[in-house]
Copies of this chain bind each other. A is one copy, B any other.
Amino acid sequence: MNDAAPPSLLPDFAAVLAAAARIAPLAHVTPVLRSRSLDTLAGCELHFKGEHLQRTGSFKFRGACNAIWSLSDADAARGVVTHSSGNHGAALALAARTRGIACHVVVPEGVVASKLAAIAAYGATLHHCAPSIAAREALCGQVQRATGAELVHPYTDTRVIAGQGTATLELLANGTAFDALVVPVGGGGLASGTAIAAAALAPATRLFLAEPSGAAETWASLQRGERVTDFVPDTICDGLRGTLGAPNFTVLQQHRAEVLTVDDAATVAAMRLLWQRSKQLVEPSSAVALAAVLGHPDRFAGQRVGLVLSGGNVDLDALPALFARG
């Protein structure tokens, strides 16, 4: 799996607009949620884009849907394949089902049980592998050779990046002027899509990336000016353990995104706040964005801040262990 896309393959704003039109019949326009008690607590105005309410429970459906419906009929007939720690797998499975094509998902051991069940329920064929990038890529390659399926990478795929940008397109479309946007960053699909959409629609808005301090290779990469890939993630944010992709790095560097790192304990505390105050069941990988804002009160004081609640797929059986990290 080669994720070093040449710059010419980076999606532009036109690609985001095309994605929005392509997925409109299938994806939800998710609500923007407010909470006066969280505003008071944060000392700023928080606008939460509720992607946990997107189909399959995360923003990933946007990119997956755009990729699936961008395929030619001939390519689509051979199906698609991906590897995923969960949400992208479920999203691609459902997106493939909307077109009636085969979907193969390579899942590393240790994936959250509820996410695995969702992938299977959407009708994908599961292929289990060891929890390493090398093992994932090897098995993906095998499936591709055996079936002719097209690879849809979780975050470096141009069509996926463009699709993820549609969440921010919707957030900004009603004309609200944001001082800042804060989105989680793992592999960088959502982050780079957000950067492209925001640059076109709200160039004065600062873009912050919330990243678990136990998987802060995006922070390290942007600091160093080159992509850091040699790290072992250690975070409860299971959606943010991926390694920043090459095209994602390029986009984020171009758009001067700034990373705010967050400890898991702060993420769990923010997640509990979101549950209690907004009654929205968001997963840790979403709550990291609110935690980043709460951790930098001076930076956001009095501002209008847009945050993407990226997903809501929580493994309820693992909650006691999760809360113990808070």
Residues of chain B with a CB closer than 8 A to A316's CB = 272, 275-276, 323
* Contact for A279 among B53, B114, B272, B320, CB less than 8 A: B53
Q: Mark A248-287, 1 if CB is under 8 A from B, else 0.
A: 0000000000000000000000001001100111100000
Q: In the complex, what distance in Å separates the CA atom of A317 from the CA atom of B320?
A: 9
Q: In the complex, what distance in Å separates the CA atom of A279 from the CA atom of B319?
A: 15
- Which residues from chain A sit less than 8 Å from chain B, CB to CB? 52-53, 57, 114, 272, 275-276, 279-282, 312, 314, 316-317, 319-320, 323
Q: Kindly list 10 other residue pairs between chains A and B, CB separation below 8 angstroms, not including A272-B316, A275-B314.
A: A52-B279, A275-B316, A276-B281, A279-B280, A280-B281, A281-B281, A316-B323, A319-B319, A319-B323, A320-B320
Return the chain B residue nearest A275 by Cβ.
B281
Nearest 5 Cβ contacts at the A-B interface: A279-B312, A279-B281, A52-B279, A320-B320, A275-B281
What are 7 A-B pairs at a CB distance below 8 A? Answer: A52-B279, A57-B279, A275-B314, A276-B316, A279-B280, A279-B312, A319-B319
Residues of chain B with a CB closer than 8 A to A52's CB = 279
Residues of chain B with a CB closer than 8 A to A282's CB = 279
Residues of chain B with a CB closer than 8 A to A114's CB = 276
Interface of A is mostly: helix
In the complex, how many angstroms separate the beta carbon of A33 from the nearest chain B beta carbon? 9
Q: In the complex, what distance in Å separates the CA atom of A320 from the CA atom of B320?
A: 7
In the complex, how many angstroms separate the beta carbon of A41 from the nearest chain B beta carbon? 11
Return the chain B residue nearest A36 by Cβ.
B55
Residues of chain B with a CB closer than 8 A to A319's CB = 319-320, 323
Q: By CB atoms of chain B within 10 A, which of A57, A281, A319 has the most?
A: A281
Return the chain B residue nearest A316 by Cβ.
B272
Q: In the complex, what distance in Å separates the CA atom of A10 from the CA atom of B57?
A: 44
In the complex, how many angstroms separate the beta carbon of A201 from the nearest chain B beta carbon? 27
Q: In the complex, what distance in Å separates the CA atom of A325 from the CA atom of B91?
A: 32
Residues of chain B with a CB closer than 8 A to A53's CB = 279
Return the chain B residue nearest A31 by Cβ.
B31
In the complex, how many angstroms separate the beta carbon of A277 from the nearest chain B beta carbon? 9
Q: In the complex, what distance in Å separates the CA atom of A33 from the CA atom of B27?
A: 16
In the complex, how many angstroms separate the beta carbon of A51 from the nearest chain B beta carbon? 10
In the complex, how many angstroms separate the beta carbon of A194 from the nearest chain B beta carbon? 21
In the complex, how many angstroms separate the beta carbon of A122 from the nearest chain B beta carbon? 11
Residues of chain B with a CB closer than 8 A to A280's CB = 279-281
Return the chain B residue nearest A283 by Cβ.
B279
